Structure 1
Amino acid sequence: MNDSDDEMRQREQDRASGKLTDDTTKRSRVRNGESGDGRIEGRVPFGRVWDLQLEGKIRQRIQEAPLLSIIKLTDQPEYKDARIALEEVFDWLIRDGTLSQYRHNWFYRPKVGILGPRSPSQGEILRALMFAAGQRVAYITGPALYNQLGLTTQMPSVVTLATMQPIEKERLYLGGLRIKLIPARFDFHEEDIPALEILDALTALAKDPSLGSLDAYSILENPLNHIRKLVDKQPAGLKDRLVILAETYSAETRNAFAEMQLSK
């Protein structure tokens, strides 16, 4: 065997081991959809390359999320600096069946039940509206809150959310839920929500003792006393927070708060 044969054999061994990548090998990798730097071409417009590292990060997050949980595009850490690449990854994950799209910028891990594909629950939809990037941004208020607090037995047809997020559409219909979005009074912390719920209920009672109910029997006989008992069961810090936050409400609400404290 001559020297050229030995060189060719060594070249093939080096190529197989990854030590050598000639132009022919590079062209082969591109034909198979992989660029020289390990990014996939063909999934994006001509002139752009596929970011395998970003795809890997997103796939890992999705695998860690429960089935049917909502994953928002805007919650991803890369959204601000790499929005276009992120949108391309999510679009690809829809095409390969890893994700399903629920609405604009909302996705979820699909699950098939006995009766076919399932959708996120109403509770999951509300959670997606009340949290952004892991932070609480909204809370339930209005008739649904009064029902939760035990002030009324009437089931509301609309769930009202007070939100710190920009409101693009005031009324939504998602997963059989009618949802109304209203601006929060101010930017709050999650620990403020129990106090805000109490003050919202007192505000409603000050305006309308029937809480808008058409059925008098669905309203407690002494709602202020009921609220006072709810407050008494809470940590002492809640009362202090109530006093502070009450100053941001109307005089009628503050009067109802004072009356509640005296109720028996």
Structure 2
Amino acid sequence: MSSLLINKLDMTTDLRYTCEMTSVSDKVTQQIQGLPEDISFGYGQLALAKQDYQTAAKALERLQKKGVIKKLSKGIFYKPKKTVFGEKKPDEQQLLKPYLYQNGQRTAYITGDYLYNQLGLTTQVPAVIKIASRNRRIFINTGSLKATAVKSYVDVTDNNYQMLGFLDAIKDFKQIPDVDVVNALAVFKSRIRPLNEAQRQMMIDYALAYPPRVRALLGVVLTDLNLTKGIRKLRDSLNPLTTFDLGIDDSLLPNVSDWNIQ
């Protein structure tokens, strides 16, 4: 092979590589331009192939130098929001968001007392946030942001993570700090009542993967709301000899004894 032909091949390869780099860089820039201010993001939210991460890193570095984005931690960035008081960082939920996705798909969600505080079940805010995922173990220790991993009962998606968080609250009902039973039951009802029939059936199906106390408490709340379609699945899944000490009697929820709750 002649040296001239080799040089042409090298030039073609270099040109193709340069075009690929430019394409990835443009894709990164366009996606970031489309993101709102005051949110954080990671590589997993940029819809990039793993082989493009190195090129994307250079593009992100250039955007940092221009002040378009800022770095929060390794692989996590945000678009600063400018206010009259200066630049504003994202809040905790936004800081956590990139950790909840993998390859552009949600695989985890915030749970535990941080979530239960948002649901109005407790006034306490934990120092360490819990992140639930089926197949990932997510631990964070960045500045004031700390999180530990728990295992979800089913695979997590954008369509079900809120429902799973709600079922977690039912599961942890007795362990929620300073929980008020009357208020908690009102919160549970207020969350279930607006669901359509398909959503309620989905919740029942997910509950079957949870511990028996979840199925029992969900069953009695659905019964109290007169939303009984499909709850036979919950009842049939329970051992009739098992009782659940949840501190709830008939004065708070009629029919609790039918679900072996006391």
TM-score (ref. length: structure 1): 0.65
Residue 203 of structure 1: which of 171, 176, 184 is its match?
Answer: 171
Residue 212 of structure 2: which of 217, 241, 251 is its match?
Answer: 251
Aligned equivalent of 2:91: 121
Residue 159 of structure 1: which of 119, 129, 146 is its match?
Answer: 129
Give unpaired runs (5+ residues) of structure 1. Answer: 1-35, 41-48
User: Aligned partner of 2:166: which letter?
Assistant: I
* Alpha-carbon offset, residue 103 of structure 1: 0.8
User: Aligned partner of 1:252: which letter?
Assistant: R
Residue 88 of structure 1: which of 44, 58, 71 is its match?
Answer: 58
Number of aligned residue pairs: give it.
213
Residue 120 of structure 2: which of 135, 144, 150 is its match?
Answer: 150
Residue 71 of structure 1: which of 41, 45, 48 is its match?
Answer: 41
User: Aligned partner of 1:104: which letter?
Assistant: K
**Aligned CA distance change for structure 1 residues 219 and 156 (closer, same or farther; 3 Å):** farther
Determine whether 1:57 maps to 2:18. Answer: no
Residue 236 of structure 1: which of 182, 197, 204 is its match?
Answer: 197
* Alpha-carbon offset, residue 134 of structure 1: 4.5
CA contact (8 A) 1:163 1:184 kept: yes
Distance in structure 1 (CA, Å) of the matches to 2:183 and 2:69: 50
Residues 205-257 of structure 1 show CA distances to partners (whole Å, capped at 9, x for unaligned) of 2xx2xx342x4xx5133634542343123222232122211221122322333
Give unpaired runs (5+ residues) of structure 2. Answer: 1-13, 225-252, 255-262
Larger Rg: 1
User: Aligned partner of 1:54: which letter?
Assistant: V
Residue 192 of structure 1: which of 154, 160, 181 is its match?
Answer: 160
1:190 is paired with a residue whose SS is coil
Distance in structure 2 (CA, Å) of the matches to 1:247 and 1:117: 46
Residues 132-153 of structure 1 show CA distances to partners (whole Å, capped at 9, x for unaligned) of 4553322232122323333334
Distance in structure 2 (CA, Å) of the matches to 1:79 and 1:64: 19
Q: After the TM superposition, which of the residue ranges 239-248 and 181-190 deviates more from structure 2?
A: 181-190
CA contact (8 A) 2:121 2:176 kept: no
TM-score (ref. length: structure 2): 0.65
Aligned equivalent of 1:130: 100
CA contact (8 A) 1:79 1:86 kept: no
Distance in structure 1 (CA, Å) of the matches to 2:86 and 2:135: 34
Residues 86-112 of structure 1 show CA distances to partners (whole Å, capped at 9, x for unaligned) of 222222333343332111111223455
Residues 4-56 of structure 1 show CA distances to partners (whole Å, capped at 9, x for unaligned) of xxxxxxxxxxxxxxxxxxxxxxxxxxxxxxxx94987xxxxxxxx99333322
Aligned equivalent of 1:183: 151
CA contact (8 A) 2:112 2:130 kept: yes
**Aligned CA distance change for structure 1 residues 75 and 164 (closer, same or farther; 3 Å):** farther
Residues 110-164 of structure 1 show CA distances to partners (whole Å, capped at 9, x for unaligned) of 4554454442232321333334455332223212232333333434444322134
User: Aligned partner of 1:163: which letter?
Assistant: S
Distance in structure 1 (CA, Å) of the matches to 2:119 and 2:82: 36
CA contact (8 A) 1:153 1:219 kept: no
